[in-house]
C-alpha cells in the first residue's frame, strides 16, 4: 500500500507553496478582484518559468513531462493561494483536451505555447443556465465555421484559443456534438466581460459569427471526449478545492486562537471548536477522495469516472463548507472587505459551479455506480 505522494512530489509541493506565498499574496488576488487587471500577468509568467504550466505536458510538446500526480500537487497550491490566473481553463481543460484528442499538428501548435505561458486556453461549453447536456448545445458547426453564443466562458476575454463544444447534426444523439479548436485572435469572435461572484477570475460571453474552426478529434465523438476532459478536470479542480478548504480551515483556526472574547480565546469555546472540527472532517474526507482521484487519473484507471465524480463532490462540499464556516468563526470581521475570508468564499462558490454544479456530479456519480453495479 502506497497511497501517498512521493518525496519528490512533496518537495514540488513545498517549492510551489514557497513560490506562491511570495508571488501570490492576498494583495495580488485583490488587484484582480478589484479590476486593476484581468489576471495577474507577472504571476502567469512566473508559473511558466517554474515549469508549472507544462508539468503534465510531454517534453516533445514543450512541457516538463513530469505527470498528473505532479499537476495535482500544484493544483492544490493554486487553490490555497486562490491564484488570480487562468490556470484551470488553460491547464486542466484546454491542455487536457488537446492531449486527449489533438492531432500532432494541433498539439505542436498550442501545447508548447501553453507551457511557455504564451497562450491562454479555455473550454467554451455552457450556453446560459444549465448543466452539461448534449441538448443544451445550440451553437452550430457547419462548413468549417461556428455560429452561436457561449456563456459563461471562464477566462473567455483573456484566452488566445478555445476548445468549443458545437452541434453539427440534428439527429438528437450525442454523436451530433463535436469539439472544435478556435484561434480567438483570428477574428469572428466577440468577447464581452461578465460580472461574476468571483471577480478574481475572468468570465466572459463569447459570440461566434462565421468563426473559423477546426475539428478537435472525431466530430462524432465530441460528447464522449468532453466527458473525459471534464472527468480529468474534475480531479484537478478537486485538488484546488481541497487546497482552498485547508487554507480556510487554517485561517479559522488561527483566528480562533488569537481572538479573545469573554476573557478567553474563542477557540476554547466548544461552539467554536465544533465548527472547526467539522471543517477538519470535511477537508479530510475530501483530501482522501482526491487521492483516489489522483490515483485513477495518473494510472488512467477504468474507475476514473467514479473517482472523478467522488473527488469532485467531496471537494466541492469541503471547500464550500470551510469557506462559509471560516467567515462564521471570524464573526463580523469575516464579513469585511478588508479580511481575506471572502476571497475564499467567492472562489469556493465559483469553483462549485465551474464544471457542472454539485447536483450534476451527484447525478453522474450515482448513474456510474448504478451501471457498474449492473455490469
- Residues lying near other proteins in the complex (CB under 8 A) are found at 1-5, 69, 249, 253, 256-257, 264-265, 267-268, 270, 272-274, 276-278, 280-281, 284-289, 291-292, 294-295, 298-299, 309-310, 313-314, 317, 359, 361-363, 365-367, 369-370, 373
Cα–Cα–Cα angle for 75, 98, 55, rounded to 5 degrees: 35
Question: Which C-beta is closer to other proteins: that of 110 or that of 291?
Answer: 291
Q: In terms of C-beta distances under 8 Å and separation of at least 24 residues, what long-range contacts does 73-76 make, across chains too?
A: 73/5, 73/9, 73/10, 73/12, 73/13, 73/16, 73/239, 74/12, 74/13, 74/16, 75/236, 75/237, 75/239, 75/240, 75/243, 76/13, 76/239, 76/240, 76/242, 76/243, 76/246
State the nearest-atom distance from the C-beta of 111 to other proteins, in Å: 25
Question: Which C-beta is closer to other proteins: that of 116 or that of 298?
Answer: 298
Cell numbers of 194, please?
461578465
Question: Which C-beta is closer to other proteins: that of 118 or that of 303?
Answer: 303
Question: Which C-beta is closer to other proteins: that of 3 or that of 337?
Answer: 3
3-state secondary structure of 62: coil
State the nearest-atom distance from the C-beta of 145 to other proteins, in Å: 38
State the nearest-atom distance from the C-beta of 2 to other proteins, in Å: 5
C-beta separation of 43 from 85 below 8 A? yes
Give Cα 279 distance to the centre of its chain.
22
State the nearest-atom distance from the C-beta of 292 to other proteins, in Å: 5
C-beta separation of 287 from 322 below 8 A? no
Question: Which C-beta is closer to other proteins: that of 24 or that of 283?
Answer: 283
State the nearest-atom distance from the C-beta of 298 to other proteins, in Å: 7
- Cα end-to-end span (Å), the chain: 27
Question: Which C-beta is closer to other proteins: that of 137 or that of 272?
Answer: 272
C-beta separation of 359 from 206 below 8 A? no
Question: Which C-beta is closer to other proteins: that of 299 or that of 336?
Answer: 299
- The packing angle between helices 304-330 and 222-258, to 10°, is 30
Please, what sign has the CA dihedral across residues 220, 222, 228, 231? negative
Question: Which C-beta is closer to other proteins: that of 53 or that of 66?
Answer: 66
Question: Which C-beta is closer to other proteins: that of 14 or that of 210?
Answer: 14
State the nearest-atom distance from the C-beta of 322 to other proteins, in Å: 12
State the nearest-atom distance from the C-beta of 294 to other proteins, in Å: 7
Give which of 285, 339, 294, 292 is closest to 316, Cα–Cα: 285
Give which of 295, 251, 263, 277 is closest to 72, Cα–Cα: 295
State the nearest-atom distance from the C-beta of 115 to other proteins, in Å: 24
Beta pairing, strands 161-167 & 121-124:
parallel
State the nearest-atom distance from the C-beta of 310 to other proteins, in Å: 5
d(CA 242, CA 245): 5
Question: Which C-beta is closer to other proteins: that of 180 or that of 361?
Answer: 361
Please, what sign has the CA dihedral across residues 131, 132, 136, 138? positive
Cell numbers of 277, please?
472540527
State the nearest-atom distance from the C-beta of 109 to other proteins, in Å: 33
Amino acid at each position: 500500500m502506497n497511497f501517498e505522494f512521493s518525496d519528490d512530489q512533496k518537495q514540488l509541493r513545498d517549492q510551489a507553496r514557497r513560490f506562491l506565498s511570495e508571488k501570490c499574496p492576498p494583495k495580488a488576488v485583490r488587484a484582480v478582484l478589484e479590476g486593476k487587471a484581468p489576471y495577474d500577468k507577472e504571476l502567469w509568467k512566473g508559473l511558466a518559468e517554474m515549469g508549472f504550466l507544462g508539468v503534465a505536458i510531454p517534453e516533445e510538446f514543450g512541457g516538463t513531462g513530469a505527470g498528473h500526480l505532479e499537476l495535482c500537487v500544484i493544483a492544490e497550491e493554486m487553490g490555497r493561494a486562490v491564484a488570480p490566473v487562468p490556470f484551470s481553463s488553460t491547464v486542466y481543460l484546454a491542455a487536457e483536451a488537446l492531449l486527449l484528442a489533438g492531432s500532432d499538428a494541433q498539439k505542436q501548435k498550442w501545447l508548447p505555447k501553453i507551457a511557455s505561458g504564451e497562450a491562454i486556453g479555455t473550454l467554451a461549453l455552457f450556453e446560459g443556465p444549465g448543466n452539461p447536456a448534449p441538448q443544451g448545445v445550440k451553437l452550430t458547426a457547419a462548413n468549417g465555421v461556428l455560429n452561436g453564443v457561449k456563456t459563461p466562458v471562464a477566462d473567455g476575454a483573456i484566452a488566445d484559443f478555445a476548445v468549443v463544444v458545437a452541434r453539427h447534426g440534428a439527429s438528437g444523439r450525442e454523436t451530433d456534438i463535436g469539439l472544435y479548436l478556435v484561434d480567438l485572435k483570428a477574428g469572428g469572435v466577440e468577447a464581452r466581460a461578465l460580472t461574476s461572484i468571483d471577480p478574481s477570475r475572468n468570465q466572459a460571453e463569447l459570440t461566434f459569427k462565421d468563426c473559423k474552426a477546426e475539428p478537435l478529434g472525431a466530430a462524432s465523438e465530441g460528447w464522449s471526449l468532453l466527458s473525459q476532459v471534464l472527468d480529468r478536470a474534475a480531479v484537478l479542480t478537486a485538488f484546488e478545492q481541497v487546497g482552498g478548504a485547508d487554507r480556510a480551515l487554517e485561517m479559522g483556526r488561527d483566528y480562533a486562537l488569537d481572538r479573545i472574547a469573554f476573557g478567553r480565546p474563542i477557540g476554547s469555546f466548544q461552539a467554536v471548536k465544533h465548527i472547526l472540527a467539522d471543517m477538519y472532517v470535511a477537508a479530510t474526507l475530501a483530501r482522501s477522495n482526491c487521492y483516489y482521484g489522483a490515483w485513477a487519473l495518473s494510472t488512467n484507471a477504468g474507475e476514473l469516472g467514479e473517482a472523478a465524480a467522488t473527488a469532485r463532490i467531496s471537494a466541492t462540499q469541503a471547500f464550500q463548507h470551510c469557506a462559509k464556516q471560516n467567515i462564521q468563526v471570524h464573526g463580523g470581521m469575516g464579513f469585511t472587505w478588508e479580511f481575506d475570508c471572502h476571497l475564499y468564499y467567492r472562489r469556493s462558490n465559483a469553483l462549485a459551479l465551474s464544471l457542472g454544479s454539485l447536483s450534476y456530479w451527484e447525478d453522474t456519480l450515482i448513474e456510474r455506480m448504478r451501471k457498474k453495479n449492473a455490469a
